[in-house]
Amino acid sequence: MRNKQPTLAQSFAALLAAPSISAIDASQDQSNKPVLDLLCNWFGDLGFQCQQQAVANTRDKHNFVATLGQGNGGLLLAGHTDTVPFDEGQWQVDPFKLTEKDGKWYGLGSCDMKGFFALILEALKEIPLDKLQRPLHILASADEETTMNGAKAFAANAAIKPEYAIIGEPTSLRPVYMHKGHLAQGIRIVGRSGHSSDPAKGLNAIDIMHLVIGQLLKLRQHLAENYRENAFSVPYPTMNFGHIHGGDAANRICGCCDLHLDIRPLPGIALQDLELMLHQYLKPVVSQYPGAVTISTLYPGNEAFKDSADSAWSQLVASLAGNAPEVVNYATEAPYIRQLGCHTLVLGPGSIEQAHQPDEYMAQDQLKPTVELLRKLIWHACIKD
């Protein structure tokens, strides 16, 4: 006999009460196992076959995969179980407690994006699961907010072959079929410090960084002139110099200078190719000053993503959601889910404007439309003849 399923508010509250912060800093990083244990109990009670898969190169993180039905095809509903850290002094409510106020459900992960799993569970309550013609899969991944190692590991080892996938990131229920990627690089120049009265006795790292920036500006121009996708509001790859620091006094030759930059490539530009371009453009400076220039990756990058706005699936989802397919500039797990060979869209409740913000919330007027939309998507992908 199956256990009684929680109400939507109960499942929502339980997910928020299970901290699952992802952070590069080990002192803030947390396992997502408590969230996965909840999902395993709930979906297992509905008859899903549930697995928890350890993710390499993480701190006790796991993916959760639940499947009902057999064979290939069907639908994958995907999301991540982790949240960003929170600034305690800026929150007016308890981040780990569901707080209802002014037509909103507040809590860390309410829209980005643990709440999505509670809405899937709610949608399944009125679906005749014994009528599935094609399988329904649920993926709850690890470490999306940092390395995306969960989605990468899942894509590399997946034993399922869905025909369609929906990633429930907060898009205000607007289907997203394309987004840019993200590459963050650090460049360090190590010169020789000395007294400013005799520059020839040192090697000024700021002078060398000046040459580096000149080459990077040439790469920026090359990217803008040779790659274009007019669907984006900024239709070319961008490069941003976000941080620079060098030296310690006006009367000392600068011995070290650091630059952090990010590049946001269009679909069709692999991160590996982008890194190669970066090295090629900096090669003249590297050759002129052997051993002085170091190029490194600040944190794992994200590939760009592109599906089709005109496919039958995209058009069906757009019709059901009442919103046309669109593009966004932020990154998601979509390029890795797309590697399964399925038609992939990013579509979920809540606004991206709430993600990573103090007092994150899910507007309650998004709840019922999301549940109804999920039921329709499951019916079309898994039940309809």
Both tokens assigned to 305: 């993503």
- Residue of 29, 82, 122, 163 marked active site: 82
Task: Please answer whether residues 29 and 143 qualify as being in contact, where contact means their C-beta atoms are separated by less than 8 angstroms.
Answer: no
Taking the C-alpha atoms of residue 246 and residue 91, their distance in angstroms, rounded to an integer, is 35
- Residue of 144, 303, 333, 359 marked active site: 144
- For residue 82, indicate whether it is catalytic: yes
Across the strands, what pairs with 305?
179
Taking the C-alpha atoms of residue 346 and residue 361, their distance in angstroms, rounded to an integer, is 19
Active site residues per annotation: 82, 144
